[in-house]
Structure 1
Amino acid sequence: MPKPAKGARLGGSAAHEKLLLANLAKSLFEHGRITTTEAKARRLRPVAERLITKAKKGDIHNRRLVLQTITDKGIVHTLFTEIAPRYENRPGGYTRITKIGNRRGDNAPMAVIELVEALTVAQEATGEAEAATKRAVKEAEAAPAAEVVEDAAPAEEAAEESKEA
């Protein structure tokens, strides 16, 4: 017996929902970002991420699996040759959902779902350099605190000697 999918129900039959999500994924891969309702964006995210993960594998079997969802061969070619290689080193999280307020006509909550930019080698190196700088700053802050504690002990000894004299 078919079970309903997790998440918000998008109305219509299961076949209509499947087709709707396929068309949203197609538009997302074609344009890089789309504006839709929050519910549709939340339902689209796992579908799109699964398709990108299959495209990252790049073999003919996964291409055929993606073609079952997105029937436009041009979009699938773009997905496999341009989009998937961008996320080669990223283990997931290829999309971002940003809420943008309510739609004017029916007050439906709207969101933008977009493909995140892949980290380039330069950005990764910059991130590592920033992390190293932060570690150095923390170590530098910790070192003077230790010196202050050491300096306080001789001052106390000198004070005790002056009291004894």
Structure 2
Amino acid sequence: MKHGINQRKLGRMPAHRIALLRNLVSALLHHETIKTTLPKAKEAARMAEKIITLGKKGTNPSRSKAMAYLMPPHNSPSPIASSSSSSSSLLEAENDDEHFVPPKSLLPKLFDELSLRYAERPGGYTRIHKFGRRQGDNAPHAIVTLVDGPRDLKFEMLAREVGKSSLDLLEQKGGKLEEVGEGWEGLKPRTRLQVEKVLKYKSEGERREFKVKAKEFADYIQAEESAYGGVRSPNVSPDTPAYRRPGMNTPKTGRLLHAGERLSGVSTHTTGLGLARGALARTPRGRQNVDKSPRFWGQARLPEGVSAEVV
């Protein structure tokens, strides 16, 4: 009979392992996106599912269990409040976006916001994205996110995939992206299945947002092609196979781009790696209203109050 195989040991003693998982689960519920190693991600996602289930129950025993598991301790003040000697320094720390202020309690978010968000979902509140390997020990990295949240990576990346795949359908039928029905005709079976899974528990407003994101990315691909069409030198051979010939999703002039490659002047946030990094980063102080839309070659962001005619 085998014992002690219900969870990974993670190379730690029981007390250290329990404290690690408590910290990871609390960080996941607070930030809704964390990056860690793959074994830790799987264990943290498993425990987060149980904690969210306690939040959906909403009973006093479930509240007591959640209070005993989540960190920081809910009866103690914030670490910044206990270490700050003056109210001015505390106010400055709270207004600084680069300074992390931990919440005093995660119970309001768990029993109010998350319980309402997942009221109709029977399970599967977390999603794990593999994120390469860590430099140094080559440990596998992963990103754990809460589904249907504001930082859901799959919602954004799948919308871009739908926008890119819809260009082929538009080229064949000559229609508009708004005319593509809710069945998502023209998509690959696997992509259509993923769209149905992502939008299964979404509201009508979120479904419209998904289609808007897909259309914006489709427009971006077309604008990028027209903007860079004359910059790249044409070297497409006439012996190129049919599936490699220029079309809606491939450049009409110049060489074919490889996976992960970007053109000069194109922001890295358009790639999957840049998207994941941007979701994990915090906005620096004073840059909340900065226009982050991508710029094409030859364009630049002008300072506030300076017009193009002056430059």
TM-score by length of 2: 0.37
Question: Aligned partners of 1:9 and 1:45: how far apart in 2?
Answer: 15
Deviation at 1:4, TM superposition (A): 2.5
Alignment of 1:11-50 (within 5 A): 11-50=11-50
**Counterpart Cα distance in 1 of 2:24 and 2:207:** 35
Instruction: Give the Cα–Cα distance (whole angstroms) in 2 for the partners of residues 69 and 5 of structure 1.
Output: 21
- Residue 100 of structure 1 aligns to a residue whose secondary structure is strand
Matches within 5 A, 1:68-107: 68-72=68-72, 73=74, 74-107=105-138
Q: Write the letter of the residue equivalent to 2:109.
A: T
Residue 37 of structure 1 and its aligned partner are, at CA, apart by 0.2
Q: After the TM superposition, which of the residue ranges 68-77 and 85-94 deviates more from structure 2?
A: 68-77
**Alpha-carbon distance in 1 for matches of 2:44, 2:37:** 10
Measured at CA, do residues 16 and 53 of structure 1 come closer, stay the same or move farther in structure 2, by a change above 3 Å?
A: same
What letter is aligned with 1:83?
L
Structure number with greater Rg is 1
How far 1:12 sits from its partner (Å)? Answer: 1.9
**Superimposed CA distance per residue, residues 38-63 of structure 1 (whole angstroms, 9 cap, x where no aligned partner):** 00011111110000001001122111
Q: Distance in 2 between matches of 1:62 and 1:33?
A: 24
Deviation string 1:6-64 (CA, Å, 9 cap, x unpaired) is 24321221111111101000000110010000000111111100000010011221110
- Paired residue for 1:114, among 134, 142, 145? 145
Q: Distance in 2 between matches of 1:63 and 1:70?
A: 11
Distance in 1 (alpha carbons) for counterparts of 2:207 and 2:11: 46
| Aligned-residue offset at 1:5 | 4.6
What one-letter code is carried by the residue in structure 1 that aligns with 2:118?
Y
Contact 2:52 2:115 in 1 (8 A): yes
Instruction: Spell out, residue by residue over 1:128-157, the C-alpha distance to the aligned partner (whole angstroms, 9 max, x if none).
Output: xxxxxxxxxxxxxxxxxxxxxxxxxxxxxx
Distance, in Å, in 2 between the alignment partners of 1:97 and 1:123 is 25
Where is the helix percentage greater, Structure 1 or Structure 2? 1
- 3-state SS of paired residue (1:9): coil
The one-letter code sitting in structure 1 at the alignment partner of 2:69 is: T
Give the 3 Å change call, closer, same or farther, for CA 85–99 of structure 1 in structure 2. Answer: same
Equivalent residue of 1:96, what SS?
strand
Q: 1:125 to 1:33 in 2, by over 3 A?
A: closer
Whether the 8 Å contact between 2:23 and 2:71 is mirrored in structure 1 is no
SS in 2 for 1:62: helix
CA-CA distance at 1:100 after TM superposition: 0.6
Q: Deviations over 1:70-103 (max 9, x none)?
A: 1433112211111121000000000000001001
Amino-acid identity (%): 39
**Structural RMSD (CA):** 2.0
Decide whether aligned partners of structure 1 residues 12 and 125 sit closer, same or farther in structure 2, where only a CA change above 3 A counts. Answer: closer
More strand by share: 1
The count of aligned residue pairs is: 124
Tell me the amino acid that sits aligned with residue 70 of structure 2: I
TM-score (normalised: structure 1): 0.69
